[in-house]
Structure 1
Amino acid sequence: MPCGGGDIGLNVWVENGDLLMYFSRSGTFDENNTLLKLGRIRVHLTPNPLEGKIFKQELVLNEGYINITGSDGKQAARINIRADVFNPVFYIDINSDKPLTVKTSYESWRYRDNQMKGRENNQSSWKFAAPANTLTYADSVNFVNNTISFYHHNRDSTVFDAAVKQQGMQAVKGEMYNPLKNLTFGGVMSGKNMVAVGTNNGTYNKTQFKAWQLQSSKPVKQQAIQVTLYTKQCAAIKTWQAGLQQVLEKLAQTSATAKQKTIDWWHQYWQRSFIDIEPDNPQPDSANWQVGRNYQLFRYMLGCNAYGTSPTKFNGGLFTFDPSYTDTLYKFTPDFRNWGGGLATAQNQRLVYFPMLKSGDWDMLKPQFDFYLKTLHNAELRSKVYWNHKGASFTEQIENFGLPNYAEYGTKRPAGYDKGMEYNAWLEYEWDTVFQFCLMMLDEGQYSGKSISKYIPFMESCLTFYSEHYQYLAKQRGSKPLNGNGQLVLYPGSAAETYKMTYNSTTTIAALKTILSRLLELPNNYMNAESRTRWATMLAQIPPIAFSSFNGKQTIAPAQLWERINNQETPQLYPVFPWHIYGVGKPDLQTAINTYLYDTDAIKFRSHVGWKQDNIFAADLGLTAEAARLNTLKLKDSGRRFPAFWGPGFDWTPDHNWGGSGMIGLQEMLLQTDDKKIYLFPAWPATWDVHFKLRAPYNTTIEATLKGGKLTSLKVLPEERIKDVMNMLK
């Protein structure tokens, strides 16, 4: 069961009478760029009410904590587990009706160096290209004045250094952003009147560990355990220790009000937005009801990394667990997740963050946006070093320092191959996913009304790259930078990872047209006249989207031309989502519907699994029955003990791009917008009772109840926006 808040994630369970939990924090990347867990905690009670006949573990969503109760008939105990949203700390509070002895252990499988072997390297940025004898280095763990101190301090050489050298960026290394250098993370576990009682060794799920133990000095009815965390890039351990001490001192000063502030935050979080399906008839066996419940559960998981230093990862977020429970062949440590820790696959990552727009969780977009702002300069340096032109070159498999992944860049590259390119059949020439994050930035401004001026240079740099690079490539082939119509020649390109070596990819054209148009719609204070002229000129240079036909019906083509198919995405429908060029209430909707219904690749690739977004396409096209079918498959119970731990899909468990795409699809069934137009229930079955609250552009809130096929209540704020609402069920 997940628990957390702020930037802390806990996996909590009771096993053989012991309370156990993994704990993770955003941004804890080691030398290999593995997102390391911080450890495992075990709590044992003597005598032990948790071994009794009465047992209950409850995730209290409204206040963001876990409550565990147990009774053996003679003694009862209650354990409350909560993370502070505003401070790097979590608590385990134990209350018993009779005195008992509390023993808590900090368990580490990184008490010694671990050599990663074979597929285990997939947890890092080395992946399938790892050097021989690659190690996950040991942490430092010690007793300090009856507390347990633990930390990991990155050594001088990291995968950042290897990537810079591999990719020929040494000349500018000194000015590059490096998030791994001297990164130190860990914390301290403490408990009032608890004393150190030594260490022992053990094995959990075939992974050896060492345990450092604290025990209550005498039997107690109440025992509080506090785990305080600290992360900082600092060359000296003493500097990190001093910073941790400052956090402890601050917590001591604010402890009286901290708990209530966290509870209040969760209260307002659930009031921002919600989707309750069949609210008057909760039936756990009903697939419809599960869809609404699991939407809420997954949104809770996203809320646990609301304010992290790094984005919520698509391949498990903060809630991965022993990998053998996902795949029995993966007998690795709990640090394992497939597809890397600091590495972001942009196509997957976008699905985690798009749903935060309609849910009103705009403050939670910051970690993802900051990821790109921090790496912007490095991406611009790529263009300067390789091609001597301007603009930010963001690739698809991108590290948290803005360079391509070491393995995916290619370690066996042909002599003379363009150093700015990934030598990779799936990833070559795929640079346009970054525009989806540009779109989120623009949408945040439109939804919230807040200034997005700090994102304008980023968006302009991404556009500059496309303008300059494709004219650069054209001049490598011939004398003219544009075609005979005065348009950019977007070749070679890519339509997602699927249609490769494209000529005028539809994903790229839709992205460029949308971002350029939206930028030009911004108020004058965002750009000067010179910039506006430049972007208007570029917009006129974007070629049109290409079309095809199936069964004599016009459809959207993935590109004008392509050489091969490499994956199983459906980029011919990206003009529907995320670009919303086609959709309910928009021109030529039938062409997009034809693409969904008749394009043979679109049909062949259709699925609800993982990052597949057919559920979103169906909703945005107003295909109600199809949207209901696919979103039910997306969001029904996962089959695991926690119903929103979907996966592994194409990635890992819990699969966050599975959950994110499910959230988007459900939102789009209920509410779609076109500038100021608001379409209510555009793909919602009239037989599904629902009470929901979602956000729309221009700081608009929509709360509605559908019961028995009828709209029984509708609240629109501000009230004057009700004139823009169209009930599509009528």
Structure 2
Amino acid sequence: MEAVEWKKRLDKYKGVFTEPPKIVPTDKVVDGPVIGNGDLGVTTSGNPEHQRLWISKTDFWKAKLMYPNGGPCLLGGIDIHIPDLANASYYSEQRLNEANVVSTFHGAAASVTMTSWVPATENALIVELSCEKQAVSVKLDLWVHQGNESTTEHGQYGDVAWATRKFTGQDIEWPTEGVIAMSCSAGSHLFELQPGTKQYIVAYVATNHEEENDIQESVGKVERTDENRIESLRLEHVQWWSQFWAKSSIEIGDELLEKFWYGSHYIMACCSRNKKFAPGLFGNWITTDTPAWAGDYHLNYNYQAPWWGVYSSNHVELSEPYDTPLIEYMSNGRRYADEYLGRKGLYYDVGIGPKGLPTALCTTPYENGHMFLGQKSNTALSTVNMLMRFYYTYDLEYAGFVYPFLTEVADFWEDYLTFEEGRYVIYRDSIHEVGTYTESHSDDNWDRGMEDMNPILSLALIRLLFKGLLEISEHLNLDANRREKWSHIVQHISAYPTFEREGKTIFRLTEQGTEWWEDNTLAIQHIWPAGGIGLDSDPKLLEIAKDTITVINRWTDYNGFPTIFTAAARVGYDPEIILRQLRHQCLEHSFPNLFIFFGGGGIECCSGVPSAINEMLLQSHEQAIRLFPVWPQDKDASFKDLRAVGAFVVSSKLADENITHVDIKSEKGKTCRIFNPWPNKEFSIVEVDGDQRTPIEWQLSANVISFETQAGKTYTLQ
């Protein structure tokens, strides 16, 4: 997309606030304006006369054992006091194209504009203040959060104020220290803001995880940041976000859904770029020390879900932090599998943290003081994102990086599965959380949960894992001696269980044990994200899948937003219903900052709109591209540079019920297979190289076009 075009479009898609946020601070998702650079996150609250900027960072964790002690914590913030704005009007915009927040406050005597942004290339916060009418008095306060067994310090170097917060001590697994250093271009933290002038507040933020001398480094950076440096940072910021927004786009004739498609990517870009520390449940906008569920990495879908939309949206780079905590936890997982189950491979708790931190330890008579919650599927579910990334990119370097994790998950399931009567069976793997950590759960509930046999999600995850390993091991030329076993598991894993409900045959949660769960979408997670069923599947399975979605009728769900809509698209459910229900959720369950929020999670909901819309516009299940497969054919739509399985980047347009063009860039030179967009018309395929267009050969079989590609080349179907 041309720069002018995406800027014009994104100008429409902004978060608009006409009153101060209502739930900042909060233990869950903030409703205030959000900015960030993928590591440093800032949100704003308060009335015009007292604006509070809350500063958080993905690596500011309290690393203490026993749930819920270990988790991300609030670092601190900056208060901006402007008494003359008492009773002023409030208006704020969270601008996606500029990645900043612009607030305007109109009072009886003065008007003030405050522009806040976190540079894309520095862990800094820049606040620009200007006013009209008459001068106003401004007072700045720098603070860090106190308590929760932390220690704090404050100091001053010249015009630069600094404050630190530390978690250290013998019962801390690893120390964390965060520092905020701040100064103002006015030369003082108490000054008069004159009409027609601009003053800059500059803050740098660092932790001991990135800077050995974090106080000195932060103070030094603040001292060196003059107006020229700010302008340099602004240019880098604009360039980064311009490149980001140019990577893909959609135009579907629905401004609401487009707004949340772009908004979801904005949120992920703001919180997911620190390769050493992935964002927790609520991103890098932590405003208390007690985020819900410890704010950690919950592995029974919450941690994995935020990235499910970035792969097909061609924002693979946002998934870079994902693998780090999973790999750092492997030594724990090996020990737990051996000591607690007597198995090989990896066995993970439901909640983990960075640097191998167990966040789900508890005092319980079950599960050796851990919260596995009866589920054996946490590591298998964690491979979904790795395999998505591999299939969408065919990046063999990345495949080699995650291969040890994948094979150790395979070790566990090879050892844990039972082969009987010609099929592989899973015993004692709960489909839902058993919940051993509260007194309200009785022994009887625990026993019933652990009776589950062949949970439907695990059956799909095992298929996905071993199919992926078969392909990756061939590409890497590794473990040829294991492929026979892996293939045997894929071919003989138990079928998805079904039963009769409301007059329809639908999927059952387990073959034996838990039959159904009224308030959850577990019955479709084998479709998405596990990828067990798609439009290429047996028509009977597709019918069962659609009937299951109808019976579930869980478009509004505590946990289901990241799964239900994309699963419906994946199996060809009525697109009008999908779009209508998706719009409803965006309207009814969103904040002005473009967070979509349900009771059960935070940034996980960032995948709901992108993954669903992308699957409606472009599917590549089983390595065959389908264009607009689950889209109302009388509704014009287009997309640019969405990813398809096979490392293809695809652009196309549907207008007047006809696909007008198809452009496919091949990144890895694989054979391209695409369902014929024009079954009743003649067409050609050309290789595009600048102005040169060279016809190429292709084959057509069962309405699927196949042609060979070269890496780095672009092809047009016309």
CA distance in 2, matches of 1:715, 1:238: 49
Partner of residue 158, structure 2: 145
Contact 1:582–1:589 (8 Å) recurs in 2:
no
Contact 2:84–2:109 (8 Å) recurs in 1:
no
Contact 2:309–2:611 (8 Å) recurs in 1:
yes
CA distance in 1, matches of 2:167, 2:347: 28
Pairing 1:263–2:211 present: no
After superposition, the C-alpha distances for 1:113-157 in whole angstroms (9 at most, x for unaligned) are 3xxxxxxxxxxxxxxxxxxxxx35353333343322122211224
Partner of residue 592, structure 1: 542
Aligned-pair distance for 1:673?
1.0
CA distance in 2, matches of 1:420, 1:70: 53
The one of 7, 22, 27 aligned to 2:59: 27
Question: TM-score normalized by structure 1?
Answer: 0.75
Range moving further from structure 2, 100-109 or 681-690: 100-109
Contact 1:43–1:102 (8 Å) recurs in 2:
no
Aligned-pair distance for 1:538?
4.7
Pairing 1:232–2:208 present: yes
Partner of residue 280, structure 2: 313
Contact 2:181–2:222 (8 Å) recurs in 1:
no
After superposition, the C-alpha distances for 1:201-221 in whole angstroms (9 at most, x for unaligned) are xxxxxxxxxxxxx22488682
CA distance in 1, matches of 2:420, 2:82: 75
CA distance in 2, matches of 1:541, 1:714: 39
CA distance in 2, matches of 1:633, 1:37: 33
Contact 1:47–1:100 (8 Å) recurs in 2:
no
Pairing 1:630–2:581 present: yes
Classify the secondary structure of the residue corresponding to 1:139.
strand
Partner of residue 624, structure 2: 677
Aligned-pair distance for 1:677?
1.4
1:442 counterpart letter in structure 2: L
Using a 3 Å threshold, how does the CA distance of structure 1 residues 254 and 384 change in structure 2: closer, same or farther? Answer: farther
CA distance in 2, matches of 1:565, 1:85: 46
Using a 3 Å threshold, how does the CA distance of structure 1 residues 598 and 79 change in structure 2: closer, same or farther? Answer: closer
Structure 1's unaligned 5+ residue stretches are 114-134, 162-179, 196-213, 279-287, 322-333, 472-480
Classify the secondary structure of the residue corresponding to 1:380.
helix
1:429 counterpart letter in structure 2: G
Pairing 1:4–2:39 present: no
Using a 3 Å threshold, how does the CA distance of structure 1 residues 44 and 501 change in structure 2: closer, same or farther? Answer: same
After superposition, the C-alpha distances for 1:647-694 in whole angstroms (9 at most, x for unaligned) are 3x2235xx3223422332222222211243111222222454434332
Using a 3 Å threshold, how does the CA distance of structure 1 residues 33 and 656 change in structure 2: closer, same or farther? Answer: same
Classify the secondary structure of the residue corresponding to 1:455.
helix
CA distance in 1, matches of 2:500, 2:522: 16
Partner of residue 118, structure 1: none
Range moving further from structure 2, 23-32 or 259-268: 23-32
Classify the secondary structure of the residue corresponding to 2:303.
helix
Aligned-pair distance for 1:722?
8.2
Partner of residue 39, structure 1: 76
The one of 241, 251, 260 aligned to 1:294: 260
Aligned-pair distance for 1:608?
4.7
Pairing 1:86–2:79 present: no
After superposition, the C-alpha distances for 1:471-522 in whole angstroms (9 at most, x for unaligned) are 6xxxxxxxxx64243x544111122448753212221121111111111112
Aligned-pair distance for 1:573?
2.4
Contact 2:454–2:512 (8 Å) recurs in 1:
yes
The one of 465, 468, 474 aligned to 1:515: 465
The one of 299, 314, 322 aligned to 1:368: 322
CA distance in 2, matches of 1:672, 1:723: 12
Using a 3 Å threshold, how does the CA distance of structure 1 residues 251 and 524 change in structure 2: closer, same or farther? Answer: farther
Partner of residue 477, structure 1: none
Classify the secondary structure of the residue corresponding to 1:63.
coil
Partner of residue 390, structure 1: 344
Pairing 1:103–2:138 present: yes
Paired residues for 1:422-501 under 5 Å: 422=371, 428-450=373-395, 451-452=397-398, 453-468=400-415, 470=416, 482-485=419-422, 487-497=423-433, 501=451
Partner of residue 176, structure 2: 183
Partner of residue 411, structure 1: 363
Pairing 1:696–2:641 present: no
Aligned-pair distance for 1:696?
1.5
CA distance in 2, matches of 1:570, 1:578: 12
Pairing 1:338–2:292 present: yes
CA distance in 2, matches of 1:107, 1:448: 45
Using a 3 Å threshold, how does the CA distance of structure 1 residues 723 and 519 change in structure 2: closer, same or farther? Answer: closer
Structure 2's unaligned 5+ residue stretches are 1-32, 435-448, 681-718
After superposition, the C-alpha distances for 1:601-643 in whole angstroms (9 at most, x for unaligned) are x526553554343222221121123322322223236464x16
CA distance in 2, matches of 1:725, 1:246: 58
Paired residues for 1:188-207 under 5 Å: 188-195=181-188
Aligned-pair distance for 1:273?
1.8
After superposition, the C-alpha distances for 1:584-616 in whole angstroms (9 at most, x for unaligned) are 2x121332332442589x526553554343222
Aligned-pair distance for 1:405?
4.1
Contact 2:520–2:557 (8 Å) recurs in 1:
no
Aligned-pair distance for 1:341?
2.2
Contact 1:6–1:304 (8 Å) recurs in 2:
yes
Paired residues for 1:46-61 under 5 Å: 57-61=92-96
After superposition, the C-alpha distances for 1:349-372 in whole angstroms (9 at most, x for unaligned) are 222111111111111112121121
CA distance in 1, matches of 2:625, 2:302: 28
CA distance in 2, matches of 1:561, 1:74: 72
Using a 3 Å threshold, how does the CA distance of structure 1 residues 691 and 238 change in structure 2: closer, same or farther? Answer: closer
Q: Tell me the percent identity.
A: 17
Using a 3 Å threshold, how does the CA distance of structure 1 residues 715 and 247 change in structure 2: closer, same or farther? Answer: same
CA distance in 2, matches of 1:729, 1:66: 49
Aligned residues: 618
Paired residues for 1:593-632 under 5 Å: 593-597=543-547, 602-603=551-552, 607-612=556-561, 613-623=563-573, 624-632=575-583
Paired residues for 1:125-164 under 5 Å: 135-158=148-171
1:466 counterpart letter in structure 2: W
Aligned-pair distance for 1:389?
4.2
CA distance in 1, matches of 2:41, 2:292: 18
Using a 3 Å threshold, how does the CA distance of structure 1 residues 239 and 368 change in structure 2: closer, same or farther? Answer: same
CA distance in 2, matches of 1:19, 1:310: 29
